[in-house]
Structure formats: structure tokens, C-alpha cells
Amino acid sequence: MLVEIFREVLGASELDADADFYEAGGDSLTAFQITGRFQDERNIEVPVSLVFAYPTPRELAEVIDTDF
């Protein structure tokens, strides 16, 4: 699900689970969009700072699975 959210928000259909948020053109606005979409889908509030600390969908998913 996070890969799809990254793809949609960043407008890059070729992104995969190891795509880097920064390299894909991510910024603070897109980080908020990613966490907002995730919250809408899963009803779990994820701090936007986690997108910056764990910039790939795979890393972010692992943290969310562990901590939430």
C-alpha cells in the first residue's frame, strides 16, 4: 500500500519498495500527503518525521509494523 501511495503522491508509477523519497523528488508537502493518505487508508496517524527518517516505502512500512 505504501508503494502505491508513494507512486500517486510523487507522480512516478515506476517507484518500487526501495525507491528513495528524496531521489523521487519528495519534499515536506509530499511527506504530509503520504502520511495523510496512509492515515485515511489505515486510520493510523504516522508522524511526518518518519517519512524523512525512513525514506523508502519498505523502511517506512517496517517501522509502522513494529511501532504502530
Single pTM value for the model: 0.91
Q: What is the pLDDT of residue 30?
A: 97
State the chain's mean pLDDT as an integer: 96
pLDDT digits (tens, 9 = 90+) for 10-23: 999 999 999 999 99
d(CA 43, CA 53): 21
d(CA 54, CA 41): 19
**pLDDT value at 68 more than 90:** no
**CATH H-level, domain 2-67: superfamily:** ACP-like (1.10.1200.10)
How does DSSP assign the chain, residue by residue?
-HHHHHHHHHT-TT--TT--TTTTT--HHHHHHHHHHHHHHH-----THHHHHS-SHHHHHHHHHHH-
**pLDDT value at 47 more than 90:** yes
